[in-house]
Amino acid sequence: MNPSKDIFRSDSKRIVTGLDIGTSKIGVVIGEITQDNTVNILGVGTSPSKGLRQGVVINLDLAVESITKAIHEARLTAGVDVKEVVVGIAGDHIRSVNSRGVVGVSRSGQEITQHDVDKVIDAAKAIALPIDREVLHILPQEFIVDNQGGIKNPIGISGVRLEAEIHIVTGAVTSAQNIVRSVKKAGLKVAGLVLEPLASSSAVLEQSEKDLGVVLIDMGGGTTDVALFYGGAIRYTAVIGLGGQIVTNDVALGLRTPVDQAEIIKQKYGYATSSVTTKEDSFIVPGIGGREAREVKVKDLTSIIQPRMEEIFGLAAKEIKRSDYGDLLSAGIVLTGGGSLLRGTAQLAEEVFGLPATIGIPQGFGGLTEAASSPIFSTGVGLVFFGAGLGEEEVRKFGTEEEGLFSRIYQWMKKFADDFM
């Protein structure tokens, strides 16, 4: 069977591109998947994000322009063409729920087959959804055979009753469709949609962390995404409608300076907590509208930033509490995304959550390791990893037409489920 020209090169090495459509930036990561299944990053590209708010497209033309610029930059770095992308989806329209299904084994007392597994997952995902929402991911957590739980792969086990616990992620149909339209209008095909914190987790979390219990907090410009893992499976996801942009807006208001200047000041002089600042330091805020430049102490800047960061972490802590797994997080908190680069973020997280916290950096790849080894590219690298898990047949199952795209999302997740099992 001949490989797809859109994703495979003539030397049988696959090219997979991750497209992270964020509120503050568009990130693109181009990876090469070698025959021994290793990932080499060939190119990265970024562009200021326009036409989006909290992960949702509000101006199609501006969104297309931003996507095109980021893709062009990554193409130049990689020296390869890009025609198909794996796209990250986020935004406060994302919802998730845990569900359970129960079925009788087809032949009572006989070995459980793939048919039985498919039936029980179908039963578990049979939940009532509003007409404006669609299932994005079906993620198995565990199977139970005749009241024996903790089973990852029930196939071959004898039993009468089979249960499945799954995590269902849903999104607003129109929001997902507008993302797909933006990508298509930029001249690209959509291979699949992946929840962004799920993608990030594949790039920054170790399996041992997922087994012990860990929370990934992906801090973007418009939203902060939360994904909780325990026992090797995802247990809870949530999206908080606050991110790095609102911190920047607070700085702009507090220092009476334009937002673009406030972002520069935040990145250069900002701290998330006063416990790590040097209180004697100061910096100059350029004057605007004929006003004179002013000297501002770093501690005063921190007093603007810290309350908002505490609010974001406080909302994340409430989500963790809702999950019923808050007391089982032996591996603590892992922070990633551009917002995690603010100095003192991990220290503040430890203060708020009462758990060890670290900054998650993408790992597990070769090539342009220095360029891609930043929390900014966690989602992009993770999207490449998801694409790398697709065999040729799975890639071909994803068309580029909007009609029927969401009915194929489950097939996109099949490889993820297989890895779990």
Angle at alpha carbon of residue 375, lines to 374 and 376, rounded to 5°: 85
CA dist 378 and 363 (Å) reads 9
Task: Say if CB 358 and CB 346 are below 8 A apart.
Answer: yes
CA dist 185 and 315 (Å) reads 36
Cα separation values, 129 from 97, 165, 169, 344, Å: 11, 18, 11, 41
Element (H, E) at 237: strand 233-240
User: What is the reported pLDDT for 396?
Assistant: 26
User: What is the reported pLDDT for 94?
Assistant: 87
The CATH number corresponding to 95-170 among 3.40.50.300, 3.30.1490.110, 3.30.70.270, 3.40.50.970 equals 3.30.1490.110
CA dist 370 and 77 (Å) reads 13
Q: What are phi and psi of 16, to 5 degrees?
A: -125, 135
The tokens describing 138, both together, are 């079906």
Tens digits of residue pLDDT in 327-365: 999 999 999 999 999 999 999 999 999 999 999 999 989
Q: Do domains 14-91+173-200+362-412 and 95-170 have the same CATH topology?
A: no
Q: What is the average per-residue pLDDT within 322-326?
A: 90
Residue ranges with strand state E in 54-159: 56-57, 84-89, 95-104, 133-145, 148-151
Task: Say if CB 302 and CB 274 are below 8 A apart.
Answer: yes
Q: Where are the domains of the chain?
A: 14-91+173-200+362-412, 95-170
User: What is the reported pLDDT for 407?
Assistant: 44
Q: What is the average per-residue pLDDT within 313-332?
A: 94
CA dist 372 and 203 (Å) reads 11
User: What is the reported pLDDT for 371?
Assistant: 87
Q: Which ranges constitute the DSSP H helices of 79-172?
A: 114-124
CATH superfamily label, 14-91+173-200+362-412: ATPase, nucleotide binding domain (3.30.420.40)
pTM over 0.75: yes
